[in-house]
């Protein structure tokens, strides 16, 4: 989140296989903190596959500010 000054972000959590958007919502953050957390626990559990979590600015530009992928086996 280098240099991001806002106090909230949009979070998009996607299951890459099939492009299923599991979460897309606005979340508060502490821009000066070393860590911020977003938590998701699907009711059906985590199906195997690749997932992407992306963070966007919470303004009209919605520019990407951070992101990453992880794998569930």
pLDDT tens for 3-33 read 788 899 999 999 998 889 999 999 999 877 8
pLDDT band at 35 (very low <50, low <70, confident <90, very high): confident
pTM: 0.85
How many angstroms separate the CA atoms of 58 and 55, rounded?
9
- pLDDT tens for residues 47-60? 999 999 999 999 99
Provide the token pair at 16.
């890459």
Plot region of 45 (φ>0 → left; ψ -120 to 50 → alpha; else → beta)? left
Length of the chain: 73
């Amino acid at each position: 989140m280098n240099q991001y000054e806002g106090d909230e972000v949009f979070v998009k959590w996607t299951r890459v296989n099939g492009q299923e958007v599991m979460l897309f919502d606005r979340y508060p953050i502490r821009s000066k903190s070393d860590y911020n957390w977003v938590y998701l626990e699907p009711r059906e559990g985590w199906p195997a596959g690749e997932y992407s979590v992306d963070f966007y600015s919470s303004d009209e530009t919605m520019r990407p500010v951070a992101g990453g992928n992880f794998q569930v086996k």
